Amino acid sequence: MSHSKFEHPRHGGSLGFLPRKRDNRQRGKVKAFPKDDPSKPCGLTSFLGYKAGMTHIVREVEKPGSKSPTRRKHVKL
């Protein structure tokens, strides 16, 4: 009898979502633009996407007159 790892398929899901790790950059990057066609009207030429799973953002809270401890500080949401 063979070991079970040789008899059963992988249960790891699609390999298109590997490597499963946090990205080094917080901002996306546009790597290609379409050729400019002067005969067409202006429009959206690219779209920035973010890696799935990066749901945390850091923003600066600015509330004048507030006595909150988070006033004028970077807050992780």
User: From residue 10, how far is each of 1, 7, 16, 52 by CA, in Å?
Assistant: 19, 10, 14, 22
3-state secondary structure 13-42: CCHHHCCCCCCCCCCCCCCCCCCCCCCCCC
Side chain identity at residue 37, one-letter code: D
pLDDT tens figures, 25-45? 666 667 777 788 889 888 777
pLDDT tens figures, 63-76? 677 666 655 566 66
75 and 58 Cβ atoms separated by less than 8 Å: yes
The rounded distance, in Å, linking the Cα atoms of 46 and 68 is 40
Determine if the pTM surpasses 0.75.
no
Domain ranges of the chain: 52-77
Residue 38, Cα to own-chain centre: how many angstroms? 32
